Amino acid sequence: MARLALELSKGDASSSQNFSIAGFVKQNLSAFANKSAFEVYEQLALDPGDVESIAPCTALQEGMIAKFLNSEKPLYYNIFPMVISSPNDIDGIHKAWVQVIRSTGILRTCFCETSDGYAQVVLRNPKIQWEEISTPDNTVQITILDKLAEHADSNKDLHKVPLYLLVIETPKRTILVLNIFHGLYDGSSLPLILEDVQMAYHGRYEPRPHQFADIVGHLLSVDTAKARIFWEKTLARATPCSFPEAPGVRDDGDHAVQLVSKISITSVEAICKKIGCTPQAVYQAAWASVLSGYIGLRPVFGVVVSGRSIPLEYIEQTIGPLFNTIPSTLDLENARSWEELVKEAHCLYSESIPYHHTPLRLVNKWMRVTAERPLFDTLFVYQRGKARNSNLVPLWEVADTIASADVCIPISHLVCRRL
């Protein structure tokens, strides 16, 4: 795996060499699959015909797998409850999910440890884990959590596809619950999955242009030498600093606070058009300003990137965990105006695009930070919501998400802007 990562990191920017690099990446991924095949078949008790493809996991997937395996809780398993609309056609919804899963490789993927690291294994025809139960309305929440714990415990090695669909019938409503491991999807993928199921139900589904297994080589091909130069220069004057604990406040669990901005996105976009930047840069500058009051005038914070800046047509339609967490820092000490600070945020994000898939563990290693004193412990997420297809009758209304963990680092504060 180390040799594979090293070879995949070599490359040149020219289009002619990019073609040869793509071929070389494909060759190395094929070598990994061939070398790991026997171990995979043996550990998963499968025949070669049961497996569609074998590929190395990305650094992000490996990080989530490691933390899941070492935890007593179902870390990185997220729960998405959806209240079914009328008519209550559970059989039709079941068939739609089956169609989408059969056509989407990452939703048929399990994981297996090999001598060269973890492999993601796309199964041809796995058993789709679907269960229907009845319960009183006042026990729905505990039922959902208990069923997830039961499912996660039965798949602790992740040798089965970590995706489980649960239908809960109560006297007042029907709830469909999607339980899914974060190694199979990201925030950009979830709306695509749900949209595909809606389209399948209405007989209008078409598979996505790319399978995640076809994208893995691009995610692993970051030029680590250039990435190191970029991140060391970017973070040269930044100092790891944790967000201070509030005096007298007990840390007794997860809390969620949701606030609605008084400033409309239309107003923000008008400003962005005037100064030549994106809304994300505006919100990042605002978050850096807030942080500066607690951790200094050169705050470092994590930014979740979609990972969909790869130069492939229709890459934004890919279902799978393309996202990554990268560090960001802004210089509030020398910024002479808000406009200058926003432009700095915009410029840094643009310059970092070639390095969006740099493993965070490598950045931490280059910056010589430790788990006890991480580079950052706050996280910024910016995601624009997708407008619903008004031509389709919605099958469900998505309720509040129950997440066990959403990133591969411990965080004290999460800023999420979703429009």
Q: Is residue 309 part of a domain?
A: yes
Is pLDDT of 83 > 70?
yes
With beta carbons less than 8 A apart as the criterion, state whether 308 and 173 touch.
no
The more confidently predicted of residues 379 and 413 is 379
Is pLDDT of 11 > 50?
no
Domain boundary among 174, 194, 213: 213
**Do 89 and 184 reside in the same domain of the chain?**
yes
> For 284-332, what is each residue's pLDDT tens digit?
999 999 999 999 999 999 999 999 999 899 999 999 999 999 999 999 9
**Do 93 and 123 reside in the same domain of the chain?**
yes
pLDDT-wise least confident of 109-118, 150-159, 233-242: 233-242
CATH assignment of the domain containing 44? 3.30.559.10
Please state at what angle helix 224-234 crosses helix 338-352, rounded to 10 degrees. 160
Q: Is residue 256 part of a domain?
A: yes
Q: Is residue 187 part of a domain?
A: yes
Predicted local confidence at residue 261, as pLDDT? 79
**Do 243 and 317 reside in the same domain of the chain?**
yes
Is pLDDT of 40 > 80?
yes
- Kindly report the pTM of this predicted structure: 0.86
With beta carbons less than 8 A apart as the criterion, state whether 74 and 68 touch.
yes
> For 106-152, what is each residue's pLDDT tens digit?
999 999 999 999 999 999 999 999 999 999 999 999 999 999 999 99
Q: Is residue 97 part of a domain?
A: yes
**Do 247 and 205 reside in the same domain of the chain?**
no
> For 358-409, what is each residue's pLDDT tens digit?
999 999 999 998 878 889 999 999 877 665 555 778 899 988 666 554 444 3
**Do 76 and 186 reside in the same domain of the chain?**
yes
Q: Is residue 180 part of a domain?
A: yes
* Calpha distance 65→77 (Å, rounded): 11
Domain boundary among 213, 233, 265: 213
**Do 105 and 254 reside in the same domain of the chain?**
no
> For 209-230, what is each residue's pLDDT tens digit?
999 999 999 998 888 999 999 9
Half-sphere exposure of 116 (CA within 13 A, CB side): 24
Q: What Rg value do the Cα atoms of the chain yield, rounded?
A: 22
Domain boundary among 213, 241, 274: 213
Q: Is residue 396 part of a domain?
A: no
Is pLDDT of 182 > 90?
yes
**Distances, alpha carbon 139 to alpha carbons 79, 145, 306, in Å:** 16, 10, 36
* Calpha distance 166→175 (Å, rounded): 8
Structure tokens at 155: 């798949």
**Do 180 and 231 reside in the same domain of the chain?**
no
Q: Residue 84: phi, psi to the nearest 5?
A: -70, 135
**Do 180 and 87 reside in the same domain of the chain?**
yes
**Do 29 and 159 reside in the same domain of the chain?**
yes
Range of the domain at 286: 222-388+405-418
Which amino acid does the sequence have at 307?
G
* Calpha distance 405→415 (Å, rounded): 15
- Domain count along the chain: 2
With beta carbons less than 8 A apart as the criterion, state whether 415 and 379 touch.
yes
Predicted local confidence at residue 250, as pLDDT? 67
